[in-house]
Amino acid sequence: MDGSQTHLEGIDRHFWLTRSVARVMGISLSRAMREGRLNPAEYCEMVARCRSGNCHEACQQWLARHVGPAETAPSGCLHRDWLDRLRKA
């Protein structure tokens, strides 16, 4: 492995964590982008913020407990306010 695979796996993990938390909250990030409520740069920033935090284990545990709609993102989520705003829009 040359290191790029590990880098991509890290991005991939946080992409899916961000997307999954949003989905459990009833948010489609793809739809939010189509509707102009979220632009691609903001989406990239969300994934980067997720990746920069050290909360992925807490998010994974939260996701394991929530199969139905959740009112808010997990505590400690670095883009909790962002997701709450999108959910209310």
**According to the model, what pLDDT value does residue 4 have?**
46
User: Mean of the pLDDT values across residues 54-71?
Assistant: 87
Q: Residue ranges per domain, the chain?
A: 4-88
Enter the pTM of the model: 0.84
Angle at 12 between CA 70 and CA 33, to 5 degrees: 60
User: Mean of the pLDDT values across residues 17-41?
Assistant: 95
End-to-end CA distance of the chain: 43
